[in-house]
Copies of this chain bind each other. A is one copy, B any other.
């Protein structure tokens, strides 16, 4: 890899993602962090980027506000989202829950992927409007403003009329014994309804959810095909969940 190539690569990353993390790029390109730092220093000297602790930012912060929105989601959720997006097969149908992690999944879906996305979140629907090849189906109903999803009888009924290969569900608590839980009864019912319409259900479980439980049970472990998390494979909760016979996909 040529040095000039690296610089171009850095500038492209900067434009596309709105930021560059020295460590990540180094690992990605298989070169030392020192070289990346040197490149960034040079670019900054030429006024092509703004050097910050840990990496660099574009000179004009308003470069890509789509990208900016991406970057404000915590690292863990983004990793989980990336793995989850990989589960969606071209031509397949996926039921996508609401919540910030699910929104990250929507953003992580390849822009030209042709698939069917079924969701009960207007936010998710709005995020997928610029995916030209994605068929989008919105489940209507009363909107719960707190979590920005439709719930209630009408929404559950609407869900009965769809089916999919895959359901990606967000929850607030993932506990080996208690199971999967969330903070609202209506939401829990809706999540159950969604899960029942898909062949496989995977849980979006960024590490802060592991080992915690909320008030309302969503699903028992038997109904879950797998869990996607950014926690280490040796995390105690991960190992307990594996012992229950549930597949665990770790995103490191």
Contact = CB atoms under 8 A, between A and B. Distances in A.
B129 A126 contact: no
B142 A140 contact: no
A145 B129 contact: yes
A2 B53 contact: yes
A139 B140 contact: yes
A165 interface: no
Interface string A141-165: 1110100101000110010010000
Contact of A126 (B28, B122, B137): B122
A138 B137 CA distance: 12
A245 interface: no
A120 B143 CA distance: 12
B74 A30 contact: yes
Interface stretch (A3-11, A197-205, A210-218): A3-11
Contacts of A71: 1, 5
A29 B208 CA distance: 11
Interface residues of A, number: 54
A138 B161 contact: no
A19 interface: yes
A196 interface: no
A5 B138 contact: no
B136 A143 contact: yes
Contact of A125 (B122, B135, B139): B122
Interface stretch (A54-62, A82-90, A183-191): A54-62
B5 A19 contact: yes
A126 B138 CA distance: 13
B53 A3 contact: yes
Contacts of A143: 125, 129, 136-138
Interface in A23-63: 28-30, 50, 52-55, 57, 61
A209 B174 CA distance: 53
A72 B138 contact: no
Interface of A: 1-5, 8-9, 12, 19, 21, 28-30, 50, 52-55, 57, 61, 68, 71-72, 74-77, 120, 122-123, 125-126, 129-132, 135-143, 145, 148, 150, 154-155, 158, 161, 206, 208
Q: Which 3 A-B pairs have the closest CB atoms?
A: A140-B140, A122-B122, A4-B52
